[in-house]
Chain A
Amino acid sequence: MNRIEELFKKKRNILSIYFTAGFPELKDTVPVIKTLAQGGADMIEIGIPFSDPLADGPVIQQSSELALKNGMTLSLLFDQLNDIRKETAVSNTSLLLMGYLNPVLQFGIAGFCEKAKACGIDGVIIPDLPLDVYLQEYKELFQKAGIKVVFLVTPQTSDERIRLIDKHSEGFIYLVSSASTTGVKGQISEEQLAYFARIRAMKLSNPVLIGFGIADKAGFNKACEYAEGAIIGSAFVKVLGQRNGLTENIKKFISPLRQEMPL
């Protein structure tokens, strides 16, 4: 069974962390994954840097720019991830690749699936891969490789389209918390909670993780009241950007998130 499916079967309050590969240093990709897994991240989204990340706010934009300057490429990333499953800490962690379509297209979708599978990647999130193109052109390739393709739902997505996305999603649904690019927007509003509740009431067949604007323990806990877990991205990338004491910084960031939640 795919690690993502297994994870949602046995756990709740799932913590997923996004970071940009090759940031802050080219060689940091594997150490960041290891430290996150050791610290208790259930899922890690490894960002493939792109020159023009349309759905991202300044923090992830800048991390991508720097990662590219560091020399990061998709093929180099696959090289770095080649032995990732040999790391004991990471053997059960769900690993996803998250990135924009163009680098994946240039690599070749078939080759991408093959490489991802060989590295033990469980799923992908490609925000600018439209659902209809995926279904017509790429679904078979991803399925053959056993890689789950995750789609996004936003506050403006119609119920009808949410049902369609749910029908074709595998692994989980990525609930974008507000009409926004990635990054911190302050406290979760009443309006957002109403939207989370609306989605919960739809009783979708896929589990749901809430992302975008989730930055800390309070946000994480709130999201977990409405969904199977949450995704933290920009807030974590900001911490990585501090550079000094990478491992310590990661531990310090993740440990409060993994403390027992008050009942």
Chain B
Amino acid sequence: MSYQVNEKGYYGSFGGAFIPEMLFPNVEDLRSRYLTIMESDDFKKEFNSLLRDYVGRPSPLYYASRLSTHHNKEIYLKREDLNHTGAHKINNTLGQILLAKRLGKKRIIAETGAGQHGVAAATVCALMGLECIVYMGEVDIERQAPNVARMKLLGAKVVPALCGSRTLKDATNEAIRDWINNPVETHYIIGSVVGPHPYPDMVARFQSVISEEIRTQLLSKTGKETPDYVIACVGGGSNAAGAFYHFLDEPSVKLIAVEAAGKGIHSGHSAATMVLGKPGIIHGSKTMLMQTEDGQITEPYSISAGLDYPGVGPVHAHLFETGRATFVSATDEEALAAAYLCCRLEGIIPALESAHALAHLDKLKSAPGEIIVLNLSGRGDKDLATYIKHQNL
């Protein structure tokens, strides 16, 4: 069983490139060149040196002793929250901007929900001196004002998506429409392991540095290269894809993906795609998708804007279908409680997205001595308003 993309761009029955002809030349150009570019010495050298000196990698693998005592488990946190710009997103935007330069692109577009990917895209565009346009749902612009300000400060233009529900899905639609209208000098930096092939594979490769580092770090800390569990939250699924990547072919490592259950899986306000979705097409990819019987894409809900996506990366649909990864979910309340606990026990304010992964620690039935690595994908500075608002509930 292979968990990697095949030569046609599929993970099992998921993936592919379901794009209108207008996008074909750009996507095909990317498909035919991304591996050659990414594997070239010159690219690797520049990427690795920026990951080290600019992003601050490797991010620490931290033994969370108080959290471990509390849960009576052995818990290591992979500190992606300590990266420049505050989340794992920068691993991907940095990789893609270096690739875009080699493709001769002059203009960068991106979509963003909570604004983390938008900030990471604006950051690398500033670094490389490229024009940056970020599409963001009008609703998200209102509720994520600090990140909008950061993007503007970094020189990006933030364009509101005014159609549909005016959130992440609609921002992605607008970015794709921009690409259709500007097919020559523009590169679209997708923020997750979603979109048409080769995006899911390309983004997973850029994020795979997370699991690559976990292996080395765990070895030096425990004498073992592989943990018993890797836990990560999943919206589109890029941090999970990166955290799982180098463990996919190690059956002894149990992979757990935590989706956002919102107000409860069957409350009508949820983003638990694996439970509520069925195979369909979104943003150029065949994957699990929340939709009506008529095939209209439905609006997900989560307290965390980064998990608020009706689809999921095709690699995760495949991991779900094959049973290689276990998909669970955490509600808004469970995520908030886990976030507060992490603040008090570890002095770490996690992003709301990552708090969903933390919430699973309570439910995980691990044996004594088993090692758990949890990918702490981002920090909670952007979520302060939400945390403060719910603190006394």
The reply to whether A102 and B282 form a contact with Cβ atoms under 8 Å apart is yes
B294 within 8 Å of A by Cβ? Answer: yes
CB distance from B306 to the nearest CB of A (A): 20
In the bound complex, how far is the Cα of B310 from the Cα of A141, in angstroms? 30
CB distance from A237 to the nearest CB of B (A): 15
**Nearest-neighbor residue (CB-CB) of A51 within chain B:** B296
The reply to whether B22 and A102 form a contact with Cβ atoms under 8 Å apart is no
Contact partners of B26 in chain A: CB under 8 A? 156
CB distance from B295 to the nearest CB of A (A): 3
Contact partners of A92 in chain B: CB under 8 A? none
Contact of B293 among A106, A130, A161, A180 (CB under 8 A): A106
CB distance from A81 to the nearest CB of B (A): 16
Known contacts A103-B295, A106-B291, A128-B281; is-contact A152 B163 (Cβ 8 Å)? no
The reply to whether A153 and B281 form a contact with Cβ atoms under 8 Å apart is no
In the bound complex, how far is the Cα of B196 from the Cα of A128, in angstroms? 11
Contact partners of B184 in chain A: CB under 8 A? 156, 179
CB distance from B137 to the nearest CB of A (A): 13
Q: How large is the interface on A (under 10, 10 to 19, 20 to 34, 35 or more residues)?
A: 35 or more
A-B CB pair tally, cutoff 8 Å: 108
The reply to whether B294 and A73 form a contact with Cβ atoms under 8 Å apart is yes
In the bound complex, how far is the Cα of B281 from the Cα of A127, in angstroms? 13
**Nearest-neighbor residue (CB-CB) of A155 within chain B:** B183
Q: Which of A50, A65, A102, A105 has the most CB of B within 10 A?
A: A102
In the bound complex, how far is the Cα of B294 from the Cα of A165, in angstroms? 29
Contact partners of A103 in chain B: CB under 8 A? 294-296
CB distance from A174 to the nearest CB of B (A): 9
In the bound complex, how far is the Cα of B284 from the Cα of A65, in angstroms? 20
A52 within 8 Å of B by Cβ? Answer: yes
* A84-126 interface with B by 8 A CB criterion: 100-107
The reply to whether A128 and B22 form a contact with Cβ atoms under 8 Å apart is no
In the bound complex, how far is the Cα of B18 from the Cα of A150, in angstroms? 16
Known contacts A55-B20, A152-B22, A157-B21; is-contact A181 B294 (Cβ 8 Å)? no
In the bound complex, how far is the Cα of B291 from the Cα of A57, in angstroms? 22
Known contacts A61-B163, A103-B296; is-contact A157 B24 (Cβ 8 Å)? yes
Contact of B22 among A101, A151, A154, A161 (CB under 8 A): A154
In the bound complex, how far is the Cα of B294 from the Cα of A62, in angstroms? 18
In the bound complex, how far is the Cα of B183 from the Cα of A153, in angstroms? 14
Contact partners of A130 in chain B: CB under 8 A? 16-19
B173 within 8 Å of A by Cβ? Answer: yes
A74 within 8 Å of B by Cβ? Answer: yes
B169 within 8 Å of A by Cβ? Answer: yes
Interface set of A (CB-CB < 8 Å, partner B): 50-52, 54-55, 57-58, 61-62, 65, 68, 73-75, 100-107, 127-130, 133, 151-154, 156-158, 161, 165, 176, 179-181
Given contacts A73-B294, A133-B16, A176-B21, 6 further A-B pairs with CB under 8 A are: A52-B282, A102-B282, A103-B294, A104-B295, A152-B20, A156-B22
Sample (9) of A-B pairs whose CB atoms are under 8 Å apart: A54-B176, A55-B177, A74-B295, A105-B280, A107-B295, A152-B21, A154-B24, A156-B183, A181-B177
Which 7 residue pairs are nearest across A and B when measured between Cβ atoms?
A106-B295, A103-B295, A152-B21, A127-B20, A73-B294, A51-B296, A156-B25
